[in-house]
Amino acid sequence: MGSDRNISLSAALGYKGDGPFLTYILHRIGGSALFIFFTIYILSLLGAESMHTLMGNWVFQVVFLVFGLFHAINGLRITILDLWPKLIEHYRAAINIEWAAYILVVAFALFIVLRNAFGG
């Protein structure tokens, strides 16, 4: 039996879950992006020329790089907190460390991709 919750769409969209909720949503988006990326990659390996061209597009690379790196770094944070359960009480600090590491890694990766895209 489900509970009767009468939550409006505006109330649901206005949910202020802060960092943990944002990382939850971005982790799911990143996982979906990686699934799409690997599907396109396999099609590219099978000889679909349009997929090979798509993978060479710098916009495609940037989008999947941003989401893929977030998924990987967030997965690392989740793994660390799972392996050492005593660290769970510091999950907000772990999220802040994750964001700092993510910004550094994605900034470097974007620099490399964009430099190569624009002939650097």
**Quick one: pLDDT band at residue 19, thresholds 50, 70, 90?**
confident
What residues contact 81, with CB distance under 8 A and at least 6 apart? 87, 88, 91, 94
Q: How far apart are CA 33 and CA 67, in angstroms?
A: 7
pTM for this predicted structure: 0.81
2 has pLDDT over 60: no
6 has pLDDT over 80: no
Output the pLDDT for position 15.
67
34 has pLDDT over 90: yes
35 has pLDDT over 90: yes
DSSP secondary structure of 28-72: HHHHHHHHHHHHHHHHHHTT-HHHHHHHH-HHHHHHHHHHHHHHH
Q: How far apart are CA 5 and CA 25, in angstroms?
A: 22
The fold of 17-117 is 3 helical TM bundles of succinate and fumarate reductases (1.20.1300)
85 has pLDDT over 80: yes
The DSSP secondary-structure symbol of 118 reads T
Query: pLDDT by residue (tens digit) across 41-69?
Result: 999 999 889 988 998 899 999 999 999 99
Q: How far apart are CA 48 and CA 54, in angstroms?
A: 10
Q: Which amino acid is located at 100 in the chain?
A: A
